[in-house]
Structure 1
Amino acid sequence: MRKYLINRFGVVMALILLFMHLPFVPTQASESVDFIFAEQYQDGQGVFSKRRYVDANGNEVDLTGGYSHAILSYSAHEEELPSSYDSRDYGYVTSVKSQGNSANCWAFSTISALESDSIIKGIDSVETADYSEAHLAWFNGKSFTENEEDPTYGDGYNYESPFLEGGSWEITAVTLSRGSGLAEESEYPFYPYNLSAMGNYNEADRYNTSAGVTIESAQGFSDTTEIKHWIIDHGSITAGIYYDDGFLNSETYAHYTTASGLMNHQITIVGWDDNYSVDNFYSTNAPEGNGAWLCKNSWTEHWGNDGYFWVSYYDASLDYFAGFTTREADYYKNYTYNGVVWNSAYSRKTATQLANVFTASGNELLSAISTYTIMENVNVKATIYKNLRSNYYTPTEGTKAATLEMTLEKQGYHTIYLDEEIALNPGEIFSVVLELSHDSGSINIPVEYNGQTDMKYACKDKQSFINLNAAYENWQDAQFYDMQNVYIQAFTKCNHQYETSVSQSTCISQGSEVTACVQCGDVESEILLPIGEHRFSKWSHYIYDEETGRNVSTRSCDFCGEVHSKSIGANKIMLEDFLEMIFSRIEKAIRLWFMIT
């Protein structure tokens, strides 16, 4: 009995000592979460899709924190802008395309904006920038991957006819940020009047980034002055409109409508003219003042003014402005669990934390992270943890490697570059933790949630974590709140492991000494070696040449085939004669030996 009491006492003391050495972290009881759901809805012809948010009772909710209609909303620095501007004058706009019978105006508008930004940045040129709308539209509508090893497996939808489906800039941003494109038009051409000739691409085509360009950001805008500055800096911006021939002056191709809240088409704005006369619009349907946007359409260069038309500043339907930026597709790995756009959000009155945990696949350098916001001016504190233990329960059970703080001014998709790259080893577990807050006190977070739409989501244990109140340490797996993955990505570069290999020169080719990465194949250096010498085979047996009357032996170079020959004697030497002579001499030698002995 005494021994039993001593053992119990020892266990209790051990537990006390253990807790004395643990850091004190305040905790909070688990809370329930009220979801707000995102809906895709289409107007008019159903070729353009817009997102709105509703609560559990179906009431529309504004989660954007200031994102509103852009028309006649001006900010400071208006005087810095020219009264007119046209990105085409600077070679920033690619040629007008044709969407034909498809519903993919959103893809053409987005691609055009991405091409313009890549041209301005010098990643591409106006002569060569031509990215595939067909690839984007197909994998946007076929977001559900068949590859069970893909970390996004289980997310998405599988539309029967992606080329007849509408889209939005938010959906497009997720498709591209996942790594699905941008691909070259030459590989996946768009056939505007033969839609069946496109699509049915292989799963291996999903992550084709042959254009060498990928998305960096996609941001919503609500201010006319900011839109103009964006066009100057990035070449163009996308927008939605309710187009109708009845609102278009077919002589000047000037469009104006008083119908607000409706959209059925997406276009690309490439310029403006503050003095574009009201007289260019129908007199019976004229805007209240001068000024119009110069818009690129996707109905061939034979429509409108060489494929362009004007939309009044006062057009009540013009809305849903979005700007895109690009970067080179030079990442080694894109770590993400998100295969499709969010369909839900949750709201908090306090700062909240999100995290994704990933496992490095090789020797890598973590260089950037990304996330999505549905509000303007979101305060972000990003923390990277590495060397998480294998049986982690929270995303902070590792070594803090970096912390960044910033404010994301616009709603949308954002790439955040680290101040210093973080080295990761093969199999190392690391996490990206985001603390999000808003000066208003309320923060709205986009998440994956099954149940409200035809979008499906999948999440595995210990991938995504949520801490509803950042003031407390109360991490829960996202699935605890019936959520799936949160929207956090990580981008790495290859941490090159170089080795040198040598290929020998021959008489017909130069050898080389190549130092290349064994992981990604990047070539650090290549030295060409001098041309080498012949490598001859052994001399052949002598063969009697009837023409020369001599016995000839030859050999040839293994590389170039050059033949060398030599000859002896003027008498015919046959192999049989040669062997008979040898055997005869051996026989005489044996007889002589026996005679002596």
Structure 2
Amino acid sequence: MIKKLVTMFVIVGLLSCSVVTTMAATDDTEALVPYKTNHTSDTTAADSKFGVSQKMANDTGDTLGVLNEADLPSYYSSVDNGYVTDVRDQGELGSCWAFSAISAMESFLLRGGYGNYDLSEEHLNHWATTREDGTGWQRGYADGGFQSTPLGYFTSWSGSRLESDIPYRSGDNQQFSEIDKNGVTQFGVTGAVILNKDTVAIKKAIMDYGGVSSCYSSLSRFVNYDKTATYCASVLPAGSMISGHGITVVGWNDNYSRTNFNTSSQPSQDGAWLVKNSWGNYNSLGGYFWISYEDAYLFNTKVFGISYAIADVTEVTSKMKLYQNEIYGATYDFGLQVKDGSVDGMVDSLTFMNAFDFKQNFNSLDNVIFESLSVGADYTAYYVPWKNGEPTTKESWQELSSGTVPYTGYINVEINNVIVPVGKGGIAIEIDSSETGGSCTIGCDEWLETSWGDMRFIPDTSLGESYIQYNNEFYEMKAFYKDTFDDDIGSNFVIKAIASYKGNAVAGDIDNDGAITMLDVLMVQRHLAKSALIAEDDMVYSADVNGDENINLMDVVAIQRIIAKLDVANG
């Protein structure tokens, strides 16, 4: 049974110092109180050159397990190891956050042995603009952005695309829908680590993944004479211009001398991070510089939000389908408290679920992905059958996998080709933090606004997409927001499933008659003319002959080449 939840809610931005309380009428003696950890900020940097949003926040928690400082070298450089691509120049746009993200992705691909890729910052920057229907990130392509934004882009497989397909500044003044027609996503991110100021975890992430996306204050008064080192001793007073700037941290040197920094303000100890910038070759280090370990802004989630590293990817093919109800990633993490007169405590065991329409031949599950801050908590992933338009009780659920949340961020859970029924069903993540005493949360894409009331992000949500289960009762999330806050927008959970194609379709045989003929060419031509659209999954797979995720004239040519026996059909 799906219930409505109408009670008193306290929204606590755990990455925000503010608390907002909203009261709804209730006769309940026990109230459920959601708490949400904000991944972003409520103000954007005023200087378009330094386009990272400012925020007030708390640290997100420990990540990457236990590692001793003594186990790490005193010096390490991903540049020296060949894991960093060329330094680039963002120009006058506030796109540093996009350059930082793309650099981290490129470094991961090099570190993981996938190859040297030049990826498109332009596609990411335009993807994160306001859509034609008003949803998405409320910004223009020349504006600054948010640190967490690229994780939605990467984990929704919206990108990345190749620079050769979408060069920087090629999309000025174009709608994203036009820009998005160019190129295809080759690698989809399935895991990402969110980091705080834990030096050991950051160093391990750089060694394991190539680079960490973060940001700092780039005010010139903190920089040394030759622009190769910077250090800010303390966070500036509220309301100060801090010029937030996104960069990629790619190494460290424990012995980097404190005397290399600005003589007017030097750190107390040696040691610094090696940073890749996006201002081109502007200094004697070819666009790299050093930031002191003691810098007040670098990795400071209370000011600029999350730092992260790409931790896992998959090569995207036409034989894969990503089921998801959001594409923008986690703007908050969502959990519950129990309130009985006063707040008694956090709910330490909770189930979060997304409903999907599983398609014929794309119902063999290989992976489940979810975002959570509940590092160390136990999780169990389930397939939830649907009956009479509603999710069934737990007795009928099928366990897919279980384990411990290994780090703060986007978690990839491998599943051994579990076949689920075609049609409506759910993927549920049960999180139990009772043993750790920590949080019990999962990511959601709730809307964001500034402290002065301007919208910063608007998700695209629909009724019946996300649910929570508490005490064996389901609560539908869009109704939850409406009943509690009179909020028509709501949010969806960051829970995804990857399925592989198990059909018998042959590329080029659109009508599945066992032969590739001019009739198949005609079907694709009619589809392109919109006179007879190809909609069935088998037919779509058969029509996308060149595997670029689009049905276009290139597929017509490919079928004709098969008929002429110049190429061989792939099954």
TM-score w.r.t. length of structure 2: 0.71
Q: Which has the higher contact order (CA 8 A, sep 6+)?
A: 2
Provide the residue aligned with 2:11 in structure 1: none
CA offsets per residue over residues 442-471 of structure 1, 9 Å max, x none?
424443446856233343332211123xxx
Equivalent residue, structure 1, for 2:192: 218
Aligned 8 A contact 1:496 1:520 in 2: no
Q: Sort the Cα spacing of 1:98 and 1:236 in 2 relative to 1 into closer, same or farther, 3 A.
A: same
1:181-330, aligned counterparts within 5 Å?
181-191=159-169, 198-203=172-177, 205-206=179-180, 210-222=184-196, 223-251=198-226, 253-260=228-235, 264-319=244-299, 320-325=306-311, 326-330=313-317
How far apart are 1:400 and its partner, in Å? 3.4
SS in 2 for 1:422: strand
Q: What is the letter of the counterpart of residue 345 of structure 1?
A: F
- After TM superposition, the structure 1 = structure 2 runs for residues 114-153 of structure 1, keeping only pairs within 5 Å, are 114-123=105-114, 125-126=115-116, 129-142=117-130, 144=131, 146=133
Aligned to 2:419: 423
**Equivalent residue in structure 2 for 1:167, among 112, 121, 146:** 146
Give the superposed CA RMSD.
3.5
Counterpart for residue 33 of structure 2: 33
> Aligned to 1:443, which of 440, 444, 448?
440
Moved over 6 A (4+): 528-532
How far off its partner does 1:531 sit?
Answer: 9.4
Identify the residue that residue 85 of structure 2 maps to in structure 1: 94
Cα contact 1:380–1:406 (8 A) shared by 2: yes
Distance 1:224 1:63 in 2: 13
CA distance in structure 1 between the aligned counterparts of 2:432 and 2:258, rounded to whole angstroms:
45
CA distance in 2, matches of 1:503, 1:458: 40
| Contact 2:278-2:287 at 8 Å conserved across structures | yes
Aligned to 1:477: 476
Does the 8 Å contact 1:363/1:423 carry over to 2?
A: no
Shift of 1:31: 4.4
Aligned residue for 1:371, secondary structure, equals strand
Which of 541, 564, 567 is the matching residue for 1:520? 541
Q: CA deviation at 1:307?
A: 0.8
What is the alpha-carbon distance in structure 1 between the residues aligned to residue 101 and residue 279 of structure 2?
Answer: 15
Separation of aligned partners in 2, 1:256 and 1:497: 60
Note the C-alpha offset of 1:242. Answer: 0.8
Who is 2:53 aligned against?
49
Amino acid at match of 1:362: Q
1:244 shift after superposition:
1.9
Distance 1:94 1:190 in 2: 16
Change (3 A) 1:298 1:400: same
Aligned to 1:436, what secondary structure does the other structure show? strand
Cα distance in 1 between the residues matched to 2:448 and 2:256: 49
Distance 1:421 1:338 in 2: 23
Residue pairs, 1:332-371, within 5 angstroms: 332-340=320-328, 341-343=330-332, 345-348=334-337, 349-350=346-347, 351-364=349-362, 365-371=364-370
SS at match of 1:115: helix
Report the equivalent of 2:463.
Answer: 461
Instruction: Give, in angstroms, the shift of residue 359 of structure 1.
Output: 0.8
Letter in 1 for 2:356: F
Instruction: Say whether the 8 Å CA contact 1:497–1:519 is kept in structure 2.
Output: no
User: Are residues 1:487 and 2:494 paired?
Assistant: yes
Measure the CA separation in 2 of the matches of 1:329 and 1:503: 26
How big is the shift at 1:239?
1.6
C-alpha separation in 1, matches of 2:432 and 2:379? 7
Counterpart in the other structure of 1:512: none
Where in structure 2 are the equivalents of 1:406-417 lying within 5 Å? 406-417=403-414
Distance 1:294-1:111 versus aligned 2 partners, 3 A rule: same
Unaligned runs of 5+ in 2: 1-27, 237-241, 300-305, 338-345, 482-489, 518-537, 548-558, 567-571
- Offset at 1:378? 3.6
1:30–1:156 CA distance, 2 compared to 1 (3 A): farther
Higher gyration radius (CA): 1
State the aligned residue count: 456
Q: Percent identity of the aligned residues?
A: 24
Name the stretch that deviates more: 220-229 or 371-380.
Answer: 371-380
> What CA distance in whole angstroms lies between the structure 2 residues aligned with 1:31 and 1:182?
43
Contact 2:129-2:137 at 8 Å conserved across structures: yes
**2:541 is aligned with what amino acid?**
C
CA contact (8 A) 1:393 1:462 kept: no
* Distance in 2 between residues matched to 1:208 and 1:496, nearest whole Å: 28
Determine helix, strand or coil for the equivalent of 2:291. Answer: strand
Structure 1 runs not aligned, ≥5 long = 1-27, 54-61, 147-153, 505-516, 533-597
TM-score where L is the length of structure 1: 0.68
